[in-house]
Amino acid sequence: GVKFKGTENEKRINLVCNYIQTHATENLTIHKVAALIYLSPSAFCKFFKRVTGKTFSDYVNDVRIANVCNDLIASDKQIAEIAYQNGFETLTYFNRIFLKRQKIRPSEYRKL
């Protein structure tokens, strides 16, 4: 795929990525984030994937999992609590994503 070198696209993707990082604990919808840079959800998805190489939901999950990993090490809160505080709506979904990304379970990660 063609990567756009334009500073305009860099500005747009930085705005989006900063927004995602700042609001990762909230319910992030494609509609909400696409509106930041005046794109329709479908145009946004294509743009985001083209520029970052990831889908929107993969990127959001990456940010959230990184935050979870910090929390697992920095606190002794229950794993479920950490998952919910970091924007995961269900424990089942969280566990599946965590395992896929980290190749181990959250409880095992905490013991490392």
User: Residue 21 in contact with residue 86, Cβ under 8 Å?
Assistant: no
Q: Estimate the crossing angle of helix 56-74 against helix 41-52, to 10 degrees.
A: 60
38-91: per-residue pLDDT in tens? 999 999 999 999 999 999 999 999 999 999 999 999 999 999 999 999 999 999
Q: What is the pTM of this model?
A: 0.90
d(CA 109, CA 112): 5
Who contacts 9 (Cβ-Cβ below 8 Å, separation ≥6)? 47, 51
Who contacts 107 (Cβ-Cβ below 8 Å, separation ≥6)? 79
Which secondary structure element, helix H or strand E, spans residue 8, and what is its range?
helix 7-22
pLDDT at 5: 58
